[in-house]
Amino acid sequence: MIKKINLKPDGKQEIVLEVTDGGLKGKIETLMNMIDCKVNCSIESQVVNYNVTLNAATSKPITTYKADDKGIVSEVEPEAEQLEADLGLPKEKIKTEGEKRELELAVVDEFIPSGLAPQLENEFAYDMPQIIKRKAEG
C-alpha cells in the first residue's frame, strides 16, 4: 500500500510503501543490498475503476449481460419498454447518468482467461486471455 509520497526540492520523489501480506518474505536482505542503487519498478493499482451508464428513470444499466448454461457471458439486447407505432418520428433519447464502480484486479485477471468473457475480436485486436496468462507467468 502506498503510504506517503514526498516531493523533494531537487525534483526527486520519495515513495513510502507498506507491505503487510508477507510479500517480502525472504527478500529483505536483497532489498537492503539495493539501498543507494538504481532500480526499476512497476506499480499497478489492484483496483479497476469503471463507469456504468444507467437509465436515469429506472436506475438500471443501459447495457446488461447474461451468462448462458456454459457460463459464457454475452450482451443482452434491450427489450422494448412499450410498443411504439412507426410514425417516422425520431426515437426518444433516454436520459442517462453515470455511476462509478470498482472491482478487484484479481477478479478481472481470473475472469478474462477463464473462457467465460465475451470475445472482442472485432473491437480489440489483442488476445487478452493470452496476455493475462503471460503476465501471471512473469
Q: List pLDDT tens digits, range 97-119.
A: 999 999 998 898 888 888 777 66
Q: Cα separation of 40 and 8, whole Å?
A: 19
Residue pair 104/50 in contact by the 8 Å Cβ criterion: no
Helices marked H in the chain: 28-33, 105-111, 128-136
Domain assignment present for residue 28? The answer is yes
State pTM to two decimals. 0.51
pLDDT of residue 129: 79
- What residues make up the domain containing 12? 2-33
**Total number of domains in the chain:** 1
Domain assignment present for residue 61? The answer is no
Domain assignment present for residue 112? The answer is no
Domain assignment present for residue 26? The answer is yes
**Could you tell me the CA-to-CA distances from 137 to 3, 116, 129, 134 in Å, in that order?**
28, 20, 12, 5
What confidence tens digit (pLDDT) does each residue in 7-32 have? 998 888 999 988 888 878 888 898 89
Domain assignment present for residue 131? The answer is no
Domain assignment present for residue 58? The answer is no
What confidence tens digit (pLDDT) does each residue in 27-79 have? 889 889 999 999 888 888 889 999 999 988 888 888 888 878 777 777 887 66
Domain assignment present for residue 66? The answer is no
Domain assignment present for residue 24? The answer is yes
